[in-house]
Amino acid sequence: MKSIKGTTLATLDLPRKALFTGYLLVIGLGLLFSGAQILLTHGMADGKFGLSVDDIIYSYHGKHDGPGATRLESKLAGSMKENAPAEVRMTLLKWVDKGAPNEEWDSSIKPMVDQYCGPCHTTIPGLANVTDKAVMDTMTKRDTGATIPTLTRVSHIHLFGMAFIFFFVGWIFSHATGFSPLGKSILIFIPFGFIIVDILSWWLTKLEPNFAWLVIIGGAGYGIAAAVMLLTSLYQMWVPAKGEHKPVPHSRRP
């Protein structure tokens, strides 16, 4: 195929339109599912549907203090609330609030756990066996958010993957018309800039929860820019403006 330098999206030949359209549709669908995945994971961190600043804080910084700061507290206030009397739940919550001291486990805590939690947690596959002190220790550990190894792994995957995605989206969009060179350049660069803001804000939120706003701003920024470039490219390929030249077939060599 010849170079498409100087060619607009409307004047592309059919094979290139098919290639670019297939790529943009798959990427667009992938970004939609990515948004849905965020809503169903991070968006439920505070127990309510919808992404909020609290969701971001709980996901990256953790919930160090207050109700729900440990998995046991969350369960006792939520799905397990009806499975034990109020006085038992209060005793367990006070024990967790004191740091879950080992000296109280055998004498007062384990008998209650065996009686009210054991019948299900020791027999139903998939439920944590909280009658085991080692398992209970994980349930009473304070939520400190995403770990450093997890942030490192997810960060490098996102940086490499998103860079490839937006390189090709931007390259296709660079053949759009109706934009000034400066405006087009800004739109092409915006996703890369906001991806950097998004990733760095994960780390900043891990250290300081007030940076959670940057996570939302970063994600919204590259999402909006992606939508503009995707929709503009698809529209100009298949709904050319009046006066656009039709694709010129490649001339045969003499």
157-187 pLDDT, tens digit per residue, is 999 999 999 999 999 999 999 999 999 999 9
Residue type, 34: S
Q: Which residue has the tokens 């953790």?
A: 62
pLDDT at 90: 85
Give pLDDT, residue 200.
95
Residue 169 DSSP label: H
What's the pLDDT at 147? 84
Q: What pTM does this model have?
A: 0.67
What residue ranges of the chain have pLDDT lower than 70? 1-6, 43-48, 63-69, 74, 77-79, 143, 240-254
pLDDT at 3: 44
CB 98 within 8 A of CB 166: no
Helix (H, G, I), strand (E, B) or coil at 143: strand
CA–CA dist 42, 50 (Å, integer): 9
pLDDT per residue as tens digits for the range 112-158: 988 888 888 888 887 888 888 888 887 777 767 778 998 999 999 99
Distance CA 114, CA 117 (A): 6
Q: Which position has the token pair 């995945």? A: 37
Q: Cβ neighbours of residue 20 under 8 Å, at least 6 residues apart?
A: 9, 12, 172, 233, 237
Measured at the CA of 56, the angle between CA 225 and CA 226, to 5 degrees, comes to: 10
pLDDT at 251: 47
Tell me the sheet residues that pair with 63.
143
